[in-house]
Structure 1
Amino acid sequence: MNPSRRNRVHIRRNLDLVTDRNPHEVPAEHLGLEPSVPQAIHQAFVDLYRTGLHPGIQLCIRRRGDILFDRAIGYAAGVASDDPLQGALREMRRDTPVCLFSSSKAVTAMLVHKCAEDGLVDLDALVTDTIPEYGQCGKHTTTVKHLLAHQAGIPRIPMKRPDPSLLWDWDRAVATLCAAKPIHGSGEQQAYHAITAGFILGEIVQRVSGLSLNDYLARHIAEPMGMHNFHYGLPAARHAEVARNAFTGGPLPAPLRPIARRVLGVDFDRVPPISNSPEFMNAVIPAGNLYATAEEASRFFEMLRAGGRYQGKQIFAPETIARAVTPVGRIRLDRTLLMPVRFSMGMILGEKPFGLYGPDCRGAYGHLGFMNIVCWADPAREISAALLTTGKTLAPSALYRLMQLMATIGGSIPRQSPDAPHLARAA
């Protein structure tokens, strides 16, 4: 990390030396696109890396099920100023596991939807039907749907000074949230639940299925889809493979600090070192520590885009996907994020004229992870994609280049029709 450049990574002159490309990318013209599309996306991808604010980046884009773009750039470890491994450079590869942070929520939500598909839980039922002790302090009217849609009234860990160790103590986390007093009645407001709802949703999955969350994930998604990573946390023997996260850029401007603390529970710059700790990587944090590669995350969203089908296997029923990506209501001012957001039961939805997933992305769905990770499907463009980054920053240049990359993807891959459905026809 170069201190003279405000906590940024030194960029090598020859980026080919730190770029890993999938040799099996399908030519754009075979996928109904202009031949220049991959190069345009690559240039925007490189421009994001050249900000020096992301030590490592992965991007995978599928079009109609085939891989259009699958590349990694930079370093997975050894460049951040606070990295104990500083100087021991390890390149970011396409198979390097990366923490998805809040993009994990989309996967956890789909596990709950799988439980509903199999008749193990009713999404309109009370949480107390499965977790009786959750009904304390007025939460007896909260439904599973309220948790999935960020309307359950428990957006923050109920501690004046949240202790990160709570994240790796499952039973303590669940008990703390069961005893919590909601900030509003269930369904009355929308306030993004950064960490909290994930533990209760994960507990529901475990109680109704009789399996641990990772075992349920493996049985229904990771194993049938051939995922090597795709796991909440990773075994200690694999910690050395993980891409390490880094706080980059200057300190947050004063107006953003309380917002970041409200969302994350701790100061923004504390999160990267916490996420690099063995305790974090060993833990199961349903809303925040699923590990995957960009290709695996794209594969997951491609399965959703294809109506729940992957390589001849029906992972989810098409009706389950349709329910999971249907808006729960109009776009609303989120009381945590202080910006308008439209949610489904588990997904952040795209908007017009510009949304999280680029220009004119109404009908797209997916999730954001710690500001600079985006995983999504856009059925109208027939794509599924994942952008994974390790720089944790709100520096304007990083956000601008990220938006430019998203705009390039959306602008170079046209919508097939203005009213394209949420789902592609299952293969």
Structure 2
Amino acid sequence: MALRPRVSRLISKQANRIPRSLDSLIRQGEEAPLASTGMASGQVEAIWRATRKLYRGGMTPALSLCLRRHGEIMINRSIGFADPDSQRIMTPDTPVCLFSASKVVAAMMIHHLVETGDLDLDDPVTRYLPKYGQNGKGRTTIRHLLTHQAGIPRPQETVSADILFRPEEIFDILCAAKPTTLNTQAYHAVTAGFIVGRVVEAVTGEDLNTTLDRVVRQPMGMKYFTFGSTGPERAMDVSTGVPFKVVDLFLNHAVGGTIDEVVEVSNDNRFQDVTVPAGNLYATAEEASRFFQMLLNNGRYNGKQIFKPETVARALEPAWHRPRFDRSLMLPLNFSNGFMLGNRGMGMFGPGAPRAFGHLGFISIYCWADPQRDLSGALLTTGKGVIGPHLPSLFSLQHTINKHTRLRNA
């Protein structure tokens, strides 16, 4: 099957499609009365104004934002085209690929098995996958996988991006790999997820989506929230931004592929037929926000205990006392057992959010919760570009959200 044709990366072409009024491109889902969120109309409008400004930068054909405060939805809106070619409008009900934000969902399946007593984070991976112990990986633990210390941040041999459609081949390559950064933090963009998924399947005797469906999706009433398997309803990804070779070189080092390669693979229909535990969970912004609200509520949702409070606490326990320099992403980061964590200064989830937890997805997807603000949220975007005019607007949106949702006693 041929890959979807490459979409132009020129910012001007996308920006020229943006009308003076965005009204025809905006859709709104169900939102709670403002009083239940503790927000004033001016605060919500400031956040939505910053969101529209981010869209007007021309770096993403579509975005969807869902924010919950005090457990109530205060914003659930979308802007743009889910498929620029067909001009299909993005709605709050359109599923989007979360890319690396998928990692937290796969990680929580591991934590579920710890909760049920079926494994321990410090168990060697070989207890469940004996084949994985080749070339000095016999001491690699499940905790190493979740904290990006497993020593296999990227394949050691040159592979094409479409290897993602051949998971058995990936597994064989990773089992044969020699660890290069064991016990050192080096972001594993895709690799560790495949081993995490295989561990879950080895313990449960079922595929990862079946476990996810049983533990989270059905109890929480999700329509999507699945690895692949969403079909034509999904939003399509688009390469955008200023094409700098150094950017693609960095991404190739950090995530194992260029922007164009990742976009082409994600838009290929075959991407719907495989499970990529670290990269192809599909959800709406509301579903992603719902999942993080459940974690914020110590594992409880609508009267159902999805995870025990101690399970959530274990998942969010920092791997280190302070951020460590990451040898893949080349910046200081703090991870827990499956999550990215906030910082006191400017962090992944905006300024002044040291207790926030969540994960970023390819370029500008954010899924997170912040106990200091009683906030859970998801910003899903379809434009994939690193360098461009969106950066100041993205930082401004983060700042605006954090400024207007901070609790007085936090």
> TM (normalized to structure 2)?
0.95
Q: In the alignment, which residue of structure 1 is the partner of 2:4? A: none
Separation in structure 2 between the aligned mates of residue 243 and residue 267 of structure 1, nearest angstrom: 20
- The question of whether the paired residues in 2 share the 8 Å contact of 1:168 and 1:279 is answered with yes
- The question of whether the paired residues in 1 share the 8 Å contact of 2:10 and 2:241 is answered with no
The one-letter code matched in structure 2 to 1:12 is P
Separation in structure 2 between the aligned mates of residue 30 and residue 299 of structure 1, nearest angstrom: 16
2:102 counterpart of 1:104: yes
Q: In the alignment, which residue of structure 1 is the partner of 2:23? A: 16
Q: In the alignment, which residue of structure 1 is the partner of 2:3? A: none
Separation in structure 1 between the aligned mates of residue 157 and residue 409 of structure 2, nearest angstrom: 48
Q: In the alignment, which residue of structure 1 is the partner of 2:185? A: 190
CA deviation vs aligned residue, 1:251-275 (integer Å, no higher than 9, x gap): 02x4433211111212222211211
2:397 counterpart of 1:397: no
Q: In the alignment, which residue of structure 2 is the partner of 1:259? A: 250
Q: In the alignment, which residue of structure 2 is the partner of 1:287? A: 278
Return 5-14 or 377-386, whichever deviates more: 5-14
The one-letter code matched in structure 1 to 2:280 is N
* CA 1:402–1:167: 2 relative to 1, 3 Å: same
Separation in structure 1 between the aligned mates of residue 281 and residue 49 of structure 2, nearest angstrom: 29
CA deviation vs aligned residue, 1:9-61 (integer Å, no higher than 9, x gap): 41012211110112x32243432233311100110110011011110000000
2:170 counterpart of 1:173: yes
- The question of whether the paired residues in 1 share the 8 Å contact of 2:247 and 2:386 is answered with no
Alignment partner for residue 68 of structure 2, among 62, 72, 77? 62
Shift of 1:158: 2.3
Separation in structure 2 between the aligned mates of residue 26 and residue 109 of structure 1, nearest angstrom: 31
Alignment partner of 1:75: what SS?
strand
How many residues align? The count is: 402
- The question of whether the paired residues in 2 share the 8 Å contact of 1:103 and 1:368 is answered with yes
- The question of whether the paired residues in 2 share the 8 Å contact of 1:168 and 1:285 is answered with no
Q: In the alignment, which residue of structure 2 is the partner of 1:359? A: 351
* CA 1:249–1:6: 2 relative to 1, 3 Å: farther
Separation in structure 2 between the aligned mates of residue 416 and residue 328 of structure 1, nearest angstrom: 29
Q: In the alignment, which residue of structure 2 is the partner of 1:408? A: 400
Q: In the alignment, which residue of structure 2 is the partner of 1:220? A: 215
Q: How does 1:54-203 map to 2 (within 5 A)?
A: 54-77=60-83, 79=84, 86=85, 88-160=86-158, 162-184=159-181, 186-187=182-183, 189-203=184-198
* CA 1:144–1:7: 2 relative to 1, 3 Å: farther
RMSD, aligned α-carbons: 1.5
CA deviation vs aligned residue, 1:89-109 (integer Å, no higher than 9, x gap): 100011111000000001111
* CA 1:3–1:214: 2 relative to 1, 3 Å: closer
Shift of 1:339: 0.3
Separation in structure 1 between the aligned mates of residue 11 and residue 194 of structure 2, nearest angstrom: 39
2:281 counterpart of 1:317: no
Q: How does 1:28-67 map to 2 (within 5 A)?
A: 28-67=34-73
Q: In the alignment, which residue of structure 1 is the partner of 2:265? A: 274
Separation in structure 2 between the aligned mates of residue 179 and residue 3 of structure 1, nearest angstrom: 37
- The question of whether the paired residues in 1 share the 8 Å contact of 2:9 and 2:243 is answered with no
Alignment partner of 2:379: what SS?
strand
Return 3-12 or 358-367, whichever deviates more: 3-12
Alignment partner for residue 233 of structure 1, among 228, 253, 261? 228
Alignment partner of 1:368: what SS?
strand
Shift of 1:403: 1.4
Q: Which runs of 5+ in 1 are unaligned?
A: 80-85, 419-427
CA deviation vs aligned residue, 1:193-246 (integer Å, no higher than 9, x gap): 000000000000000011110000000000000000001001xxx522110000
- The question of whether the paired residues in 1 share the 8 Å contact of 2:373 and 2:405 is answered with yes
Separation in structure 2 between the aligned mates of residue 416 and residue 372 of structure 1, nearest angstrom: 29
Separation in structure 2 between the aligned mates of residue 352 and residue 101 of structure 1, nearest angstrom: 26
Separation in structure 2 between the aligned mates of residue 6 and residue 13 of structure 1, nearest angstrom: 15
CA deviation vs aligned residue, 1:367-405 (integer Å, no higher than 9, x gap): 000010000000110010000000001123112211111
Q: In the alignment, which residue of structure 2 is the partner of 1:425? A: none
Separation in structure 2 between the aligned mates of residue 240 and residue 58 of structure 1, nearest angstrom: 18
Q: Which runs of 5+ in 2 are unaligned?
A: 1-6
Alignment partner of 1:396: what SS?
coil
Aligned-residue identity in percent: 45
CA deviation vs aligned residue, 1:285-305 (integer Å, no higher than 9, x gap): 000000000000000000000
Alignment partner of 1:270: what SS?
helix
Q: In the alignment, which residue of structure 1 is the partner of 2:293? A: 302
- The question of whether the paired residues in 1 share the 8 Å contact of 2:37 and 2:73 is answered with no
Alignment partner of 2:138: what SS?
helix
The one-letter code matched in structure 1 to 2:60 is H
- The question of whether the paired residues in 1 share the 8 Å contact of 2:342 and 2:357 is answered with yes
* CA 1:4–1:32: 2 relative to 1, 3 Å: closer
